[in-house]
Structure 1
Amino acid sequence: MSGELHVRTLGKAYRRWNSEWLRVLSWLGVPVAAAEEHWVLRHVDFSVNAGESVGIVGQNGAGKSTLLKLITGTARPTEGSVTSRGRVAAILELGMGFNPDLTGRQNAFHAAGLMGHDQASIARLMPDIESFAEIGEYFDQPVRTYSSGMQMRVAFSVATAVRPDLLIVDEALAVGDAYFIHKSFQRIREYRNAGTTLLIVSHDAAAIQSMCDRAILLERGRVLLDGNPQEIFDYYNALIAEKENSTINVERQEKFVATQSGTGEAVFESVQLLDAAGKEVEYLSVGAPVTLRVRARAHQDIDGLVFGYMLRDRLGQAVFGTNTHYTGQELREVRAGELVQFDAAFSMDVGAGTYSVSLALHSSETHLVNNYQWKDLALVFTVANADKVKFAGVAYLPPRIGIQQFGADGSRRVQAAVPQA
């Protein structure tokens, strides 16, 4: 069944009454006037068609979270209606519905039941939920002992244990650690490619523009624009041009397990990111010289061996990739038991953010032929702009900007802009 969503003249008002009797009469449908009335949402209309991905953007207080609560049924509308088709999974406020005194496993079991899974299905899904969350022994500890990131891991793992027809994601993913954010967006992208309809709320322009077919801009509880994500964010940025948010939150990444596949004739034994002094690093500066050191061992005789790697941003978008076929360095006649070390040296000329490394061992140009091993999320690292002139984007391409200044009469002025150091 395909996921669809239709929102019609939706509105939500919060009212204050002069007495509890008047409140009760309003519940019974008697037309009585409230002492005060504040509309958080009003006249909201839009549809999300099967297989479509739509982003919801807007400043704090625009009504985004209220809209999602009305869509998911955790709040009742004052006017209008919401209709959906297909299995719906929602990841809203952190820990919503979790009992802090129950364990992660118990909460997962309860949450999966509320999503409509029967006990037998939940029992079958639980090993996958536990594996994807990757919180170890904490899965059987009370949720009150969890960090916000651990709660997010369990909530996301439960909500996406089975591919939904309609997936609704709020800003909750923002609390995850770098590795799990990469892993979560990878699963969201896989589900989207498989046909899941997606509704995502985010302030992140890159996430919306990368994953959504269109975007909806909310302003003061109303739909201001509905259209191309790039155009929506251009308008959105104009609305908040006077504000600047340059806060960067960095958490130390937890240990993780990389997704991998392959026939096993050759496998990776280790992967490291080394600085100029040969020290292993997880955090580095824009433009820093680094070496990606990967060691692989052959378990069988191999006629040809190609090593490749891909850097990806936190949304899973490819930043740069290459392999030893492209560089003319294919290995021939690698014998069983031999260890091969690959050192890829380059400058980390990317923008600030978190990145992951995917690795591949194969026999020719791509891993689609004789895939010995493919390893996603083999390494996750963080890049910060510590000493460069401020810039935007995923690539660091510092220019030399020439400036000439001319008077109204066409004469050249000697004064020139002073470049920053």
Structure 2
Amino acid sequence: MSYLRINNIGKAYKRYARKSGRFLEWLGLGCRHELKWVLQGVTFTVEPGEAVGIIGVNGAGKSTLLKIIAGTTKPTTGTVEIGGRISALLELGMGFHPDFTGRQNVYMAAQLKGMAREEIADKMREIEDFAEIGDYIDQPVRVYSSGMQVRLAFSVATAVRPDILIVDEALSVGDASFQRKCFQRIEAFRGAGTTLLFVSHAIDTVKKLCSRAVFLHAGQVKHLGEAKKVCDEYERFLFGGPKSQSLLAPRKEPRIAQFDPSLVPSCEMVYGTGEAEIEACWLENSDGHRINVIEAGQPFVWRYRVKFNRDVENSVFAMMIKTKEGIELYGVDSKFLGILGQDFRSGEIVDVRFQLSNHLAPGIYYFNCGVRVDEEKIYFLSRRIDAAILRVTASQKTTVAVGIMDMEAVIDVEKYCKK
């Protein structure tokens, strides 16, 4: 069973009054030192298949705790009980040698995880395809960008589904498309029973991905419980006191082109019976121009073209919008919108247009599209998942400070004076 039991974990480092102190102590000559505790009395359990987030400010002890769980650092006090195979993505490029090629580092890192060379060789093509770094796989890691390092590191860490997966903030380095690809794999692992320990400063992501959370403060567990409640406590800790307006003022992103060629999903999944095929799908603005970047508040169109390969009765056209973490924000189909199932002949081509208002907060969103038949048992003739990316940027009308929706709030504050 893939469980974790963290029992009274403490970690202390020795601090010496002079630089030679450690050397003198090693020689047995004695040297005074003091202990600096970075973790004390940390206790919690992660149940099989559960996702638990760890949050806290820099220096709270999060990374140290993960290193102890992963076995790269020994605790000063306490024990860690691990049930199952563990895989950890900790510091960026951790374990990679800069002078060795990506391929050589894959073999070294995978062998450290207990994989045999034959198993690594069988998985190499899959690792390369997932990382998508091309010919750089045979170049020294020292020439990699930080994004390329995290691509390769995540690909190796998840080449074989672990019983327990530990992720420490590293995904924040990757681009939006790769982040979604990673979250897809994490979702698949969780569906298969993998236990997840997730460290991030992205509070919204912790709330969406995790059922419980641990708030570490000064090396101790300050709060432990339901993810939303713990995250709310953390935000209250961060922002409860007075803050200058400059820290809280919303940052406006610069206006950029409405089509960004780099926003290409690399994690699209396509399936169906083959009775129809979604040949193309794209986003448009109200003027009919192709886009994938739009300002908050601006309406847009999700459009796709379907070719029928066989005669089909009672066709239904569907769409969905998700966050990069896979949270379903909005889904609808033609039947729900009052259009009865339609019949099409083999060879006919249909243009489907969903005109959408835009209450999305600034961020990255993914789109699904599909065509199915209106029967009691739902199955898709053709479906494309994560087929397009939309980046929503802030506008002058943006009112959202936190969250994924803009409710366009209007505030009125009135002072009452006693007569």
Give the direction of change, closer, same or farther, for the CA distance of 1:405–1:336 in structure 2 (3 Å limit): same
Equivalent positions of 1:3-402 (< 5 A) are: 3-16=3-16, 18-24=20-26, 34-241=32-239, 242=241, 244=247, 252-253=262-263, 256-330=266-340, 332-364=342-374, 369-391=378-400, 392-401=402-411
Q: Structure 2: which amino acid aligns with 1:9?
A: I
User: Which has the higher mean CA deviation after the structures are superposed, 373-382 or 136-145?
Assistant: 136-145
2-side partners of 1:255 and 1:405: how far apart? 51
2-side partners of 1:325 and 1:103: how far apart? 54
1-side partners of 2:160 and 2:341: how far apart? 42
Contact 1:12 1:78 in 2 (8 A): yes
What do the CA deviations read for 1:266-308 (whole angstroms, capped 9, x no partner)?
Answer: 1111111112232222221111121111112112222232221
What do the CA deviations read for 1:142-182 (whole angstroms, capped 9, x no partner)?
Answer: 33332222221221122112221111110001111111111
Q: Structure 2: which amino acid aligns with 1:393?
A: G
Q: Structure 2: which amino acid aligns with 1:82?
A: V
SS at the partner of 2:380? coil
TM-score (norm 1): 0.88
RMSD value over aligned CA atoms? 2.6
Contact 2:285 2:301 in 1 (8 A): yes
> 1:217: how far off?
1.0
SS at the partner of 1:234? helix
> 1:109: how far off?
2.5
Contact 1:177 1:253 in 2 (8 A): no
Identity of aligned residues (%): 39
Q: Structure 2: which amino acid aligns with 1:233?
A: C
Contact 2:321 2:328 in 1 (8 A): yes
Unaligned residue ranges in structure 2 (runs of 5+): 255-259
> 1:257: how far off?
4.6
> 1:33: how far off?
5.4
User: Which has the higher mean CA deviation after the structures are superposed, 4-13 or 151-160?
Assistant: 4-13
Contact 1:15 1:35 in 2 (8 A): yes
> 1:258: how far off?
0.8
Q: Structure 2: which amino acid aligns with 1:22?
A: L
SS at the partner of 2:13? strand
Unaligned residue ranges in structure 1 (runs of 5+): 410-421
User: Which has the higher mean CA deviation after the structures are superposed, 397-406 or 54-63?
Assistant: 397-406
Contact 2:265 2:388 in 1 (8 A): no
> 1:57: how far off?
0.6
2-side partners of 1:49 and 1:349: how far apart? 37
SS at the partner of 1:216? strand
Contact 1:10 1:45 in 2 (8 A): no
SS at the partner of 1:126? helix
TM-score (norm 2): 0.88
User: Which has the higher mean CA deviation after the structures are superposed, 340-349 or 1-10?
Assistant: 1-10
> 1:184: how far off?
1.3
Give the direction of change, closer, same or farther, for the CA distance of 1:34–1:259 in structure 2 (3 Å limit): farther
Q: Structure 1: which amino acid aligns with 2:24?
A: L
Contact 1:3 1:87 in 2 (8 A): no
Contact 1:7 1:46 in 2 (8 A): yes
Give the direction of change, closer, same or farther, for the CA distance of 1:68–1:331 in structure 2 (3 Å limit): same
Q: Structure 2: which amino acid aligns with 1:335?
A: R
2-side partners of 1:214 and 1:331: how far apart? 43
1-side partners of 2:251 and 2:72: how far apart? 31
Q: Structure 1: which amino acid aligns with 2:395?
A: A
Give the direction of change, closer, same or farther, for the CA distance of 1:124–1:207 in structure 2 (3 Å limit): same
User: Which has the higher mean CA deviation after the structures are superposed, 309-318 or 371-380?
Assistant: 371-380
Give the direction of change, closer, same or farther, for the CA distance of 1:137–1:377 in structure 2 (3 Å limit): farther
1-side partners of 2:49 and 2:253: how far apart? 33
User: Which has the higher mean CA deviation after the structures are superposed, 298-307 or 310-319?
Assistant: 298-307
Aligned residues between the structures = 404
- Residue 415 of structure 1 is matched in structure 2 by none
2-side partners of 1:76 and 1:35: how far apart? 19
